[in-house]
Amino acid sequence: MSLQETAPDVIQDLLQPIENGSFRFACHPGVSCFTECCRDLRLLLTPYDILRMKTRLGLATDAFIEKYGEVHLDEKRCLPMIHLRMEENERKTCPFVSSEGCAIYEDRPSACRIYPVARASRMHPLHGTLVESYFLLKETHCRGFEEAKEWSVEKWLLDQGLEPYHELNNLWMELITDKGLQKKGRLSEKQQQMFYMVCYDSERFRKFVLSTRFLTLFEIDAAEKQAAIMDDTGLLRLGMKWLSFSLLNKPYLKLRRTDT
């Protein structure tokens, strides 16, 4: 699924190839447009974005979503999706923008981190491996492109701390862009609730995992079990496997054999 197929028209028109694999860019309080881009955004939050932000703010996930999220169902499959809610002021500013910049900078969402690079990812239909491509999103108001600092895509991704985001976001993207899920049509209400709990309610999902036969029903090795119990990202990884197993019959989890 290419970005040029799925991104809104307004974004597609701004996408440019990255000539010779490098680009010039810098964003800092000295640019005349500083924080201009932190307003009036339709910013999709991934499950890992939400984990990072709610932890940063010391909130439970449901409290974070109630305060900062806008939940809606995507039209084709009824998948619950969450956007960051902008403030209800004239400029529709991001709730985290301040005169000094982003107040949650170290835990800002993936979309903010990667800008001005745009990333398209898809699974190779034959090899099942992830194929990635990168573009520049050149918005006319952004003066960062006039700065001298030169980047390769690899250096940019490293500098912006995107590695853990890509790892967790890839698992999610693999699930939500799966052709089988698209063919399946709309999720039932029960499936929507399951998707929501795994992706956006780590506290409730952990309770579910610990209070049901979940951990004995499947063959899960000790390290993975421990990570899911102790750590939100471990739990999210396990949850993605469970969703792929349950919604798409993917063999990412194996039912434990019971001797009769």
Residues of span 99-158 touching ligand SF4 by CB under 6 A: 102, 108-109, 112, 115, 141-144
Residues of span 160-199 touching ligand SF4 by CB under 6 A: none
> Minimal distance in Å, beta carbon 137 to ligand SF4?
10
33 sits near ligand SF4 (criterion: CB under 6 A) = yes
> Minimal distance in Å, beta carbon 19 to ligand SF4?
19
**How many residues line the site for ligand SF4 (CB under 6 A)?**
21
230 sits near ligand SF4 (criterion: CB under 6 A) = no
The residue among 18 and 102 lying less far from ligand SF4, judged by its C-beta, is 102
27 sits near ligand SF4 (criterion: CB under 6 A) = yes
Interface with ligand SF4 (CB under 6 A), residue from 37, 50, 117, 197 = 37
> Minimal distance in Å, beta carbon 53 to ligand SF4?
8
- Judged by CB under 6 A, which stretch of 16-24, 32-40, 125-133, 155-163 contacts ligand SF4? 32-40
86 sits near ligand SF4 (criterion: CB under 6 A) = no
Interface with ligand SF4 (CB under 6 A), residue from 3, 65, 79, 94 = 94
Whether the upstream peptide bond of residue 8 has omega within 30° of 0, thus cis, is: no
Interface with ligand SF4 (CB under 6 A), residue from 23, 96, 156, 172 = 96
Dihedral sign (CA 49, 174, 198, 182): positive
Report the interface residues with ligand SF4, using CB under 6 A. Answer: 27, 31, 33-38, 41, 94, 96-97, 102, 108-109, 112, 115, 141-144
